[in-house]
Amino acid sequence: MSKLSSLSLEELYAQPKITPSTRKYILLKEEFSSIKKNWCNKVCRVTHKELPNDDILKDLSEVDVLIISDFVPIPDKKYKKTQQELKHTEEAIIGGIARRALGQGISFSVVTLTKCQTEEPQTQLAMLDCTPYLKQQIELTKPKVIISLSTTTSKALDLKVSNSSDAGKIFYYKDIPVIITLHPRILTMVRQNQSGALWGADYYSVILTDFKKAVMIVKDKVVFPTLEEAIEKVKKRVHVCQTLEHVSRLAAYLKSNSSIKSFDIETTGLDPYAPDAAILCAQFGFRDADGDYTSVVVPLFHPKCPPPYDPEEAWQILVPVLTDPEVFKVGHNIKFDVKYVAVVKGVRVQGVKFDTMLLMHSINSGLQGLYSLKTAVGYYLPETGLMGYEDLLHQKK
C-alpha cells in the first residue's frame, strides 16, 4: 500500500477503512470552506438525517462575540417539536442571555458544533468530527471573544478543560480569549444528575456573569493577563517573614492599624484532630496608607526555616493579634481557620467580622462547588487573572 502522505485526497477518501492516520491526512489536504460530502459521509461519525446546508459557511459577518453550543436539539416527539423549531428556541434562549449581558453595540452570533440534523443523541467523539466546519466559521466571523457552552465545544477548540469544573476561566484559541461557562439548558435541570451535580435556575447568574466578561474584553475595559503574568504581578505584594524581628514588626502593625485584615492559614490537612495536624503558615492581608494591598506570610512549620528563626516563637508573637477582638479579621470559610487554630493550638481567634464564602452563599445559595476562593476571584475580580492558579502548579510539578 502506498504511504498515506503520498495519496491524493480522493484516494484517501477511497480507503476501505478510515483509520486515525487516514483522517489526519485528509484533514491536512481538505479545505472546509463548504460542506464536504465525502467528509460527512465517510469520515464523520455523526448519524445524520441529512447533510447540512452550505449556507452555514457562507455570508457570515464578523462579530465581536461568537457563542458556541455543542449540538442542535434532537426532535421532541412527545411535544411534536421539529429540530428546526428546537434550534430556534435554543438560539432564542442563548441570544436572550447574550443581549442582556452584552448590551447595545456588541455584535454576537450563536453557532453549534454539530452542523447536521440528527434524530438521536451523539457521542462527544462523533460531534468532534464537525470541528473543521466550526474552525472555518471562526475564521470567517473573526470574533474578539469566544464563549464555549460545553466541554465538547471546548475540546473542539483544542482546550483540555471541563466546563463544569472550569466555569468562569478564560483560555485562548489562536490568541482569541475563550470564556468557559455552562450551557443554559442546565437551568431546566432541577433534578440531580448521574454525576451528583444538582443543576437548576440558580445558575442563571453564573452564566450571566461569564457572558459579561465578554463585554470587558471587547470594550478593552480589562486586559486579562496570562496566569504567569498575574502571578508575577502579585508576587511583588507578597512578603514572607524571614526573621522574628519581621514577625514582631508585623504584629505591631496589625494591632496599630485600624483597617480590616484578611486572615488565612495553610495546614497539613483538613482534619485538625489528625495526629500530625499542624499549621504550615499564617497569612495576613491588608491595605497600606496608600491604598495598595499587601500580603504577609509567617512560616510556622517549615524544615528550612533558617536559625535563629523559631516557628513556635513566631506563633507566640502572633497570638496577641489573633486574640485581640479589636483587630478585625475577615476570611473565606474562616470558620475552618478558627476551628483549626482552636484544636491544634488551643487559641480562640477573636475579632472575626466577615466571611466572604457566606456572602457568596447569600448572593446565590443554589450552587454546588462554586463557593471556593478561587471561584470568588474568577467571578468578582476576573481582571486579576488568578483564577486557575492551581493549573500552573500542576504544570510545574
What is the spatial order of strands in the sheet that 329-331 belongs to?
A: 238-240, 293-299, 279-287, 261-267, 329-331, 352-355
- The CATH architecture annotation of domain 229-396 reads 2-Layer Sandwich (3.30)
CA–CA distance, 383 with 19 (Å, rounded to integer): 44
Instruction: Output phi, psi for 248, to 5 deg.
Output: -65, -40
Is the pLDDT at 221 greater than 70? The verdict is no
199/65 Cα distance (integer angstroms)? 26
Higher-pLDDT residue of 80, 354: 354
User: What grid cell was written down for 109?
Assistant: 452570533
3-class DSSP assignment, residue 259: coil
d(CA 339, CA 272): 8
Q: Give residue-wise pLDDT tens across range 334-357.
A: 999 999 999 999 999 999 999 999
Which CATH fold would you assign to the domain 31-218? Answer: Uracil-DNA Glycosylase, subunit E (3.40.470)
For the segment 348-368, the average pLDDT, to the nearest whole number, is: 87
Q: Which of 240-254, 255-269, 279-293 is predicted with the least confidence, judged by mean pLDDT? A: 279-293
Average pLDDT, the chain: 84
Please provide the DSSP assignment of 46-89 as one string: --EEEPPPGGGGSSPPP-SEEEEES-PPPPBTTTTB-HHHHHHH
Mean pLDDT along residues 90-103: 89
pLDDT at 378: 76
Residues in a beta bridge with 67:
110, 147
Every domain of the chain and the residues it spans: 31-218, 229-396
Q: Residue 349's pLDDT is what?
A: 97
The residue-averaged pLDDT of 320-344 equals 96
CA max distance for the chain? 82
pTM above 0.85, yes or no: no
β-pair partners for 81: 76
Q: Cα separations (Å) of 45 from 28, 41, 136?
A: 19, 8, 19
The strand pairing partners of 145, in sequence order, are 65
pLDDT tens figures, 142-196: 999 999 999 999 999 999 998 888 888 888 999 899 999 989 887 776 555 555 5
Give the whole-number percent of the chain exceeding pLDDT 90: 41
Confidence label for 225 from pLDDT (cuts 50, 70 and 90): low
pLDDT band of residue 1 (cuts 50, 70, 90) is: very low
pLDDT score for 80: 64
